[in-house]
Amino acid sequence: MDSKGMAVLPGVVPPLATRRARWAGLLAVALILGVLYFFVPLEYPATPSLKISPPVCPQEYPLTPQRNGAFWRELTDLYATDAFLTRAVEQLSSAVQIPTETFDEMEPVGVDERWLSRGPFIDHLATAYPLVHTSLKLQKVNTYGLFYTWQGSDTTLKPVLLMGHYDVVPVAPLSADQWTHPPYSGHFDGKFIWGRGSSDDKSSVIETAIEALLERKFAPTRTVVLSFGFDEEAGGYHGAQYLAAALLDRFGPNSFSMIVDEGLGFQENYGTIFALPDIAEKGHLNVEIELQTPGGHSSVPPGHTSIGMLAALIVQLESNAPVPTLQVGSPVFEMAQCFATRGATMPSKLKHALLHAGKSPKALKTAEALLLKDPVLKALIGTTQAVDMITGGVKSNALPEQAWAVVNHRIATQSSVNETLQRDVELLEGLAARFNLSVTANGKLITPAADATYGSLALTTRQELEPAPVTPSNAAPFRLLAGTIRATFHAARKDVREGKTDIVIAPAIGPGNSGASELAS
């Protein structure tokens, strides 16, 4: 992503970009074709280019559908054409051009007029993908949530659930002229499509792959369900939460064989190309910190105004940030071990520490210290905090009676919402006492509110979401996804087919969280 414009979906001109676009489309098709039978029947190549070497970072053989092999080969050829790339570019570009911004604290659907921006996008899907909308059953949930059912012929098989969201983060008006290309232009520069939603997450919502299957009269054996939320960027409370209830009502508990949401990265690390499917999602918590103190005229100020106290509280938080700890068996640990096992150029000290960290506490600490030097890995390993919003005061000569800030946390899989809130309370409690403030947490009084108390400090949780359960990297759905990614990569890249390079699948975790944990909970 670029802070001035997000660029995705490589196009038809640069060779590398062309290869990426071809195999990105194939991945969705391969997954739909392959998941209908899980692992049987599937073809294994006679001489896989990447050997399996358990127990550290084992790799699946590339998995291509056998029963649906004709569809796979036909669509592989189709995706290799410039005509299809042009079609895919146009379809994503058109979707990006429809603003679907989600703001914090929006009122319910039907009350807040900002939800109306979703209507044109839904209409666009119906126009752009006519076969999807005549062949699949669409149920609209809470007006703008989209729940498609592609009925399979074998009702004894559990359905597969594919998810995404089509809302985007708002564009700050003051930054609009700083974008390389306008945020909703959908501009295609010959290599990338630019604009909000091009990566997160309209590229997962557009229905190009399914439309292509329907054009070839494909009918699934296993039911395929699509669930698209419309407010993931604010926690999914109006979208994913209602979709979860609708799916539970329709299918019942534990009813899906596999759930796939956004959360798949590709990058080169230590001289090796890695695919990084997220097997877990961090939790999410906004802690609202509100100070209330007596007002008055600024000509007779107290030692500390509410704004000054709030500033001190923020400094206290930032001076005592959560300390990340690398844990054996965590998603980041598994990912790092894959880097160590498969990375061609990892420094020997880090490689040695990671490969022995599972059994040696000393090696684990060494690996932790080295990994924490990378700010991205540091954020992935532990709970994060960021003070993102602050306000206070109404006039220059009036003492502020209220000051307010919001601290955003992304919670590590080994922690929880309650543990994160409790840590904030304990950090601020002593400083609040020095300022003679009473303290409450979610309405519960933490310190006595004596008559002499100067003011109050209230910590309130907003948009809380517990970390999602971790999917084992040896589970059948993950193995299917891993094998499918490798098969797709092989089909789309000539250098892989010629044995010049390969792709390694490493379980991972994203720095944020998507709608999957909301829907799975």
Active site residues: 167, 232
**CA nearest 49: which of 57, 60, 39?**
60
User: If DSSP codes are grouped into helix, strand and coil, which group holds residue 304?
Assistant: coil
Task: Compute, in degrees rounded to 10, the torsion defined by CA atoms 165, 169, 170, 173.
Answer: -140
DSSP codes of every residue in 213-227: HHHTT---SS-EEEE
Please say whether the beta carbons of 285 and 461 come within 8 A: yes
Alpha carbons 85 and 96: distance in angstroms, whole number = 16
Check whether 426 is labelled as a binding-site residue.
no
Please give the structure tokens belonging to residue 509.
């975790």
Between the alpha carbon of residue 519 and those of residues 188, 264, 412, 439, 515, the distances in Å are 33, 18, 19, 34, 6
Q: Is 141 helix (H, G, I), strand (E, B) or coil?
A: strand
Residues with Cβ within 8 Å of 122's Cβ and at least 6 positions away in sequence, in order, are 140, 144, 146
Is 104 assigned to a binding site? Answer: no
**DSSP, residue by residue, 393-437:** -S-TTB--SEEEEEEEEEE-TTS-HHHHHHHHHHHHHHHHHHTTE
Q: Is 233 annotated as a binding residue?
A: yes
* 261 appears as a binding residue in the annotation: yes
Q: Cβ(463)–Cβ(286) under 8 Å?
A: yes
CA distance 50 to 237: 43
Per-residue DSSP letter, 441: E
Q: Which residues pair with 291 in a beta bridge?
A: 403, 457
Angstrom CA distances, 99 to 69, 89, 205, 206, stand at 39, 18, 15, 15
| Residue 260 one-letter amino acid | V
- 130 contact partners, CB below 8 Å, separation of at least 6: none
Residues making up the annotated binding site are 165, 200, 233, 261
Residues making up the annotated binding site for Zn(2+) are 165, 200, 233, 261
